[in-house]
Amino acid sequence: MCAAMVNSVASRSARSINFYLFRFDLRVRDNNALIAAVERSSKSDYFIPVYCFDDKTKNQTPYSTTKASPERTQFLIESVASLRGGLRSSGTDLLVGVGDAAEYLSGLLSRVKESGEEVGDVKVFCQEEFCSEEVKVNRSVERAIKTFNQKRGHPNPTGGGSIVNSIWGSSLYELEDAPFDVNSVPTVMTQFRTKMEKNCAIPNCVETFGKGHTCGGIPVILKGEGEKELPGLKDLGFDEALPEADKRAAFEFKGGEENALARVQEYIFDLDLLKTYFETRNGLIGANFSTKFSPFLAVGSVSPRYIAHQCRKYEAERVSNKSTYWVIFELTVRDFCRYFAKRFGDKIFQLDGILGKEARGRHPNSIRWNYNPALVDAWKDGTTGFPFVDANMRELKATGYMSNRGRQNVASFLALDMNQDWRYGGYWFEEKLLDYDIYSNYVSWIMAAGMTGGRVNKFNVVKQGKDYDPKGEYVKLWCPELQDVPIAKIMEPWRMSKDEQKEAGCTLGVDYPNRVVEMKTFQRKEGKDGVKAQRKKKNKEKYKGGQYSIRE
């Protein structure tokens, strides 16, 4: 047999390997990127699902925070465990590594090659992400596979196609259906929503990943890799065990697709709460004033389309009203953050946001940012002397959760009242929030800081506390030293006289901190003229544009 014929036979007998690299889509139900990857694979190809935990989880950012707290990491571990179970039920498995994804995939390929099996084309599929860290991983993976191919004399592994194939996913609307291209994504949420709702339909959910999607399975030499135990917190660099859950926590979050689907079923159908969401969504205490879907959405244990279609089902079977629309609206807000980030990329992490040099005095929203470590630490620890801010920040630190109402207030306070570099807030949220999502988090922060050029939505944290916690129940829950402060002064304890402080058992500067900054407090003026004056002042302070931040 001639050499050309031998090579031809070897080429035909070699099996291609297609990896699917999970990141923020940890589910088997309605995972359009995963299904698309399978559809692009031959039935004879090896199809290997992979997840890599970042072993740099505890590394500090430039802002003296870590990339994730132990609580958020534990939620992620639970979510990956659930994904592995779902894949096993579908006839395949999940290979789990710790550390650099490129190194892990290279190691898997080397083991297959060393087993004597001929390796054909090698491709990697994943959900599309477009911020620098995720793009860097993709490039590193591509270089690693190119190196592997060169070592085995296989320089053109995909017939000229891409090695790393990113597929749009985990959005409510499909990118290709948008009535604008990426470079003209609106920077104002209202404009985005109007165009999307008018021109786009929410796509149907794709089928659940099942046994018919497993292609050629996983190479025999790698079967043992799928039997390894998942890493624990210590394996990922955390020395301490998780503390006992705080009894004041609004909700006990457990990661995983089955828990995500159970919460959707519970909130929408079992408890029948969807019909009143609009009225309750600004609550502060308890499990059911809001959906609590966001941690599951953040890691991709449930898709926004699945939630939207469950809302539509509820509307068809029970009632359709402003509340049922509003949950879908807020999924649209989430899409807005994702589309916005795709347009502007890493500008969402930069101090001047998308304004760039315009923010240095040439734009009405220009701010000269400061950094005072003592002030930032007071904000992070909930010791600013402003009870509504402190209660929210203490809840975040203790539980990894904060209401949307709280997030808007504490962000406004850090950036616009304390005048501190807003990025410290963004990175603190990244570390602490169980529902941290790259796009929703940082787009919301640059909007809060006014760095998109839209309206600066400054919150009066005293007035907000009075409006949304009128009896001080939330503040007293998280700031128990204020338990006996008169309700009239619970949001402004500095207004207490010495005798009142003594009566309340709360001496300022001793039992509860003095204010770290001063700000104008809201004083409601009585009478027709007073209300009119307040409206006039409020309208005068408005800028064009709009700010929205993602709800929980």
- pLDDT, tens digit (0-9, with 9 covering 90-100), for 396-432: 999 999 999 999 999 999 999 999 999 999 999 999 9
Nearest CA among 267, 407, 402 for reference residue 324: 267
Mark whether 336 and 397 lie in a shared domain.
no
Mark whether 532 and 412 lie in a shared domain.
yes
At 287, which CATH number?
1.25.40.80
Residue 241 lies in a domain: no
Run of H or E including 127:
strand 119-127
Is 148 annotated to bind a ligand? Reply is no
Residue 350 lies in a domain: no
Distance between CA 96 and CA 113 in Å, rounded? 19
Run of H or E including 390:
helix 387-399
Dihedral pair phi/psi, residue 120, rounded to 5° = -90, -135
Mark whether 360 and 336 lie in a shared domain.
no
Mark whether 317 and 186 lie in a shared domain.
yes
Distance between CA 394 and CA 453 in Å, rounded? 31
Residue 474 lies in a domain: yes
Query: Residue length, the chain?
Result: 552
Q: What residues pair up with 52 in beta bridges, in sequence order?
A: 97
Residue 215 lies in a domain: no
Residue 153 lies in a domain: yes
At 36, which CATH number?
3.40.50.620
Is 381 annotated to bind a ligand? Reply is no
Distance between CA 40 and CA 306 in Å, rounded? 23
Distance between CA 433 and CA 431 in Å, rounded? 6
Mark whether 375 and 268 lie in a shared domain.
no
Residue 165 lies in a domain: yes
At 427, which CATH number?
1.10.579.10
Distance between CA 293 and CA 296 in Å, rounded? 6
Residues 6+ apart with CB under 8 A from 78: 254, 255, 256, 259
Mark whether 278 and 384 lie in a shared domain.
no
Residue 279 lies in a domain: yes
Q: Classify each residue of 324-356 as buried b or exposed e, where b means 16 or more C-beta atoms within 10 Å of its C-beta.
A: bebbbbbbbbbbbbbbbbbbbeebbbbebbbbe
Q: What residues pair up with 122 in beta bridges, in sequence order?
A: 17
Distance between CA 245 and CA 159 in Å, rounded? 53
Residue 233 lies in a domain: no
Distance between CA 421 and CA 432 in Å, rounded? 18
Is 497 annotated to bind a ligand? Reply is no
Mark whether 144 and 184 lie in a shared domain.
no
Mark whether 335 and 386 lie in a shared domain.
no
Out of 344, 373, 391, pick the residue that ends a domain.
344
- The answer to whether residues 290 and 326 touch, using CB atoms and an 8 Å cutoff, is no
- The answer to whether residues 446 and 353 touch, using CB atoms and an 8 Å cutoff, is yes
Amino acid at 276: T
Q: pLDDT 10s digit of each residue in the chain, 552 long? A: 443 333 433 444 789 999 999 999 999 999 999 999 999 999 889 999 999 998 766 667 878 889 899 999 999 999 999 999 999 999 999 999 999 999 999 999 999 999 999 999 999 999 999 999 999 999 999 999 999 998 887 765 455 579 999 999 999 999 999 999 999 999 999 999 999 999 999 999 999 999 889 888 899 999 999 999 999 999 998 887 888 999 999 999 999 999 999 999 999 999 999 999 999 999 999 999 999 999 999 999 999 999 999 999 999 999 999 999 999 999 999 999 999 999 999 999 999 999 999 999 999 999 999 999 999 999 999 999 999 999 999 999 999 999 999 999 999 999 999 999 999 999 999 999 999 999 999 999 999 999 999 889 999 999 999 999 999 999 999 999 999 999 999 999 999 999 999 999 999 999 999 999 998 554 444 344 433 344 444 433 332 233 333 334
Distance between CA 496 and CA 512 in Å, rounded? 12
Using only C-alpha atoms, what is the Rg of the chain?
Answer: 26
Is 439 annotated to bind a ligand? Reply is no
Distance between CA 99 and CA 56 in Å, rounded? 7
Q: Determine the pLDDT at residue 509.
A: 98
Is 151 annotated to bind a ligand? Reply is no
Is 529 annotated to bind a ligand? Reply is no
Mark whether 392 and 488 lie in a shared domain.
yes
Three-state secondary structure of 240-276: CCCCCCCCCCCCCCCCCHHHHHHHHHHHHHHCCCHHH
Mark whether 447 and 515 lie in a shared domain.
yes
Mark whether 312 and 413 lie in a shared domain.
no
- The answer to whether residues 55 and 101 touch, using CB atoms and an 8 Å cutoff, is no
Q: How far are the Cα atoms of 90, 132, 231, 263, 298 from residue 258, in angstroms, in the given order?
A: 15, 31, 20, 9, 15
Q: What angle do CA 488, 491, 494 make, to 5 degrees?
A: 90
Out of 344, 370, 397, pick the residue that ends a domain.
344
Sheet holding 15-22, edge to edge: 95-98, 46-53, 15-22, 119-127, 164-167
User: HSE of 11 in the Cβ direction (CA atoms, 13 Å)?
Assistant: 12
Is 54 annotated to bind a ligand? Reply is no
Cβ neighbours, 10 Å, residue 286: 10
Q: Determine the pLDDT at residue 181.
A: 95
Cβ neighbours, 10 Å, residue 182: 12
Dihedral pair phi/psi, residue 150, rounded to 5° = -65, -40
Amino acid at 296: F
- The answer to whether residues 418 and 516 touch, using CB atoms and an 8 Å cutoff, is yes
Structural domain including 199 reads 172-206+257-344
Looking up tokens 């917190």 gives 233
How far does the chain reach from its first CA to its final CA, in angstroms?
67
- The answer to whether residues 546 and 552 touch, using CB atoms and an 8 Å cutoff, is no
Distance between CA 437 and CA 25 in Å, rounded? 12
Distance between CA 347 and CA 515 in Å, rounded? 33
Distance between CA 308 and CA 387 in Å, rounded? 36
Number of domains comprising the chain: 3
Run of H or E including 52:
strand 46-53
Out of 169, 193, 221, pick the residue that ends a domain.
169
Q: Determine the pLDDT at residue 471.
A: 98
Q: Determine the pLDDT at residue 2.
A: 42
Is 57 annotated to bind a ligand? Reply is no
Amino acid at 318: R
Mark whether 82 and 49 lie in a shared domain.
yes
- The answer to whether residues 283 and 290 touch, using CB atoms and an 8 Å cutoff, is yes
Distance between CA 493 and CA 508 in Å, rounded? 8
Is 293 annotated to bind a ligand? Reply is yes
The model carries a pTM of 0.92
What dihedral do alpha carbons 306, 307, 310, 315 form, nearest 10°?
-140
